[in-house]
Amino acid sequence: MFQLAAGIPTLRTSQLAWSMIGNSADKSAVFSFVMINNRALNDHAEFIICNTFMDLEPQAISLLPSAIPIGPLFPADHHPIGHLWPPANSSTIMDWLDAHSPGSVLYIAFGSHAIFDRAQVDELVHGIEMTKRPFLWAVRPDLTTMDRSEVFSTEFLRRVQGRGLLVAWAPQLQVLGHPSIGCFMTHCGWNSTMEGIRNGMRFLCWPYFTDQFLNESYICDIWRIGLRVRPNEEDVEGELGRSEVALITRKMIRERVEEVMEDDEMRKRALMWKERALKSVSVGGSSYENFKKVVEIMKTRT
């Protein structure tokens, strides 16, 4: 285990980006990719624009003098100009959220790459049902190799009717900005992490690979605005859903959801980080001033 500086989470070597990938050949390829990119940054980049803000991770930023944090980068009204995926069901989702009380809904989304095996997805489905709480779940068609009808049985859909909404895609910025959302179950990708912080979210962390375990450590140990879903600290040796990683049971999922949703001190900390994020991009804030600095630098290069 090692720590780059005080205020930065302690890491295991197994949590490094290249350690989270399959076989030795893949590990070597990812390690080479990281090294080539880092060398290019050192040799050619005068500065590095980062989607973060100074208050959030000052120690990490200070380790990289060329870093200029200008985040969080989001449209002010939660309505992006465009979407990678078609927002065909956006109005249905937002109407459904409107029908629920503030802070009551669990939002579940695992990004673009996480994959669950049959046993784990079954535990997740039942664990979410056991919470008895309303939930919105963005379920990618390739989240599991199982057919959708196998994952979500007719009986399950009947039992959660009105309480749960399952969609293939959700407008995440709008969803996280909706007052009914009380908790975000996530893979801890950096964009999702920043989107959650920007909207005062509490997190349930279920990382998959690369930087997601470090982001989880920040969320749970440094910022203290979320909980790990996985059973213990040792279960970080492989990718989420692999058989050698301890199964996360439905009971544990239910307990973690309840713990986060009922933690008022965590809610207050999440709102504090939201306030700091907004302050950073407001006039006079650290990211606001850094963005002006970037603009001035770019003007001198034209």
Q: Closest Cα to residue 260, out of 187, 214, 197, 201?
A: 201
Q: What angle do CA 21, 22, 28 make, to 5 degrees?
A: 65
More confident position, 164 or 65: 164
User: What domains, with CATH codes, occur in the chain?
Assistant: 90-262 (3.40.50.2000)
pLDDT tens sequence across 234-272: 544 444 444 445 799 999 999 999 999 999 999 999 999
The average pLDDT across 192-196 equals 98
Distances in Å between the Cα of 68 and the Cα atoms of 46, 48, 50, 71, 289 are: 10, 6, 6, 9, 10
pLDDT tens sequence across 202-217: 999 999 888 899 999 9
- Collapsed DSSP state (helix, strand, coil) of residue 149: helix
**Strand 226-228 vs strand 135-138: parallel, antiparallel, or unpaired?**
unpaired
Question: pLDDT at residue 187 above 80?
Answer: yes
> Cα separation of 282 and 138, whole Å?
31
Q: Closest Cα to residue 97, out of 203, 159, 174, 168?
A: 174
Containing 127, the helix (H) or strand (E) segment is: helix 118-130
Q: What is the pLDDT of residue 233?
A: 53
pLDDT tens sequence across 78-136: 555 555 555 557 789 999 999 999 999 999 999 988 889 999 999 999 999 999 999 99
What is the separation of C-alpha 117 from the centre of its chain, rounded to a whole number of angstroms? 20
Residues facing 185 on adjacent strands: 108, 204
> Cα separation of 107 and 297, whole Å?
40
Contact predicate 169/197, CB 8 Å = no
Please compute Rg for the chain using Cα positions: 20
Task: Identify the weakest region by mean pLDDT among 143-147, 176-180, 290-294.
Answer: 143-147
Write the DSSP string, 19-66: GGSSSHHHHHHHHHHHHHHHHHHHHH-S-EEESS-TTTSHHHHHT-TT
Question: pLDDT at residue 17 above 90?
Answer: no
Q: What is the pLDDT of residue 1?
A: 86
Q: How confident is the model at residue 74 (pLDDT cuts 50, 70, 90)?
A: confident
- Token readout for 296 is 């001035």
